[in-house]
Amino acid sequence: MIISHQHRFIFIHCRKVAGSSMKVALSPHMGRGDVMLGSVHESLQAGGPMQPWARRQLLTPLGVSELWSAMLKRRGWASALNKAVKKRFKREFGLSSSAHPPAVEVRDAMPGAWHEYFKFCFVRNPYERAVSDYLYRTRKEDAPPSFDGFLDELLAEARSGRQKHDNWPMYTIDDEVAVDFVGRFENLEADFQRALSLAGVEGVDALASEKRRAYPKPWQEYYGEEEEKEKVQQLFGREIEYFKYSFTD
């Protein structure tokens, strides 16, 4: 998530929509008082300098304490800085998630900015996004679960009240879309430039193409049974219905 007081916009970083690439592209354009939660380390690793906004976010008693704690756990300094910034503002704003909080929490944490600033996010076909999420979450496992088993795990999380699988609450309030612009991953670069134009931000570099890396096989082939499509519909039905997504998109 980015809250830019300089440009008066809020970028909501939904999961698996190239949000990190967008944050890296926006990072050099942030003002001293702006806030970016997540992807700080990726911005630094992309060759960017330590921005004044990052130093300002860190150099508080809580920020220094969080950085020291992260470095004691032997994280790299850039990763430790990213973790420290996320933990600081998660506490300060009272968020349930540092990088992917629901819209209602962001609104309640900063009602003035929420009502006055331009707000935007991106969505992605949930049938494809489920495959991308599966490959990401299981990338380090020697014996990963099947895709069907992964969907069962998400359903169990959903039934227990956890929403970490679902982007819908991140840009809706009371089941209604609460942002000013929703871009689509399927039209990523054009919609990103459109969002920037609406936000009045100029001179932002193009997005890194590696975020749209190829799958080991076509994503549709991960679906062996009709039942797996039905599980995705159970998990992401509201988003599928609202944006008219289908398995054949």
Residues β-bridged to residue 11: 2, 120
**Domain boundaries, given as residue ranges, for the chain:** 2-243
pLDDT of res. 214: 73
Instruction: Express as a percent the part of the chain with pLDDT over 90.
Output: 54
**Residues 178-201: b if buried by 16+ CB within 10 A, e if exposed:** bbebbbbbeebeebbeebbeebeb
Q: Is the confidence at residue 210, as pLDDT, over 50?
A: no
Q: Which residues of 124-144 are buried (b: 16+ CB within 10 A; e: fewer)?
A: bbbbbbbbbbbbeebeeeeee
- Whole-model pTM: value is 0.87
Q: Which CATH number fits domain 2-243: 2.40.390, 3.40.50, 3.30.70, 3.10.100?
A: 3.40.50
User: How far is CA 88 from each of CA 23, 36, 38, rounded to the nearest angstrom?
Assistant: 19, 11, 12
pLDDT in tens, 131-176: 999 999 898 888 889 999 999 999 998 998 777 789 999 999 999 9
Phi and psi torsions of 203, nearest 5°: 80, 20
In the predicted structure, residue 73 carries a pLDDT above the cut 90: no
Chain-centroid distance, C-alpha 244: 21
Spatial distance between the Cα atoms of 111 and 117, rounded to a whole number of angstroms: 10
**Token pair belonging to 42:** 């990726």
Determine the average pLDDT of the residues in 91-97.
87
Distance CA(182)–CA(188), nearest Å, equals 11
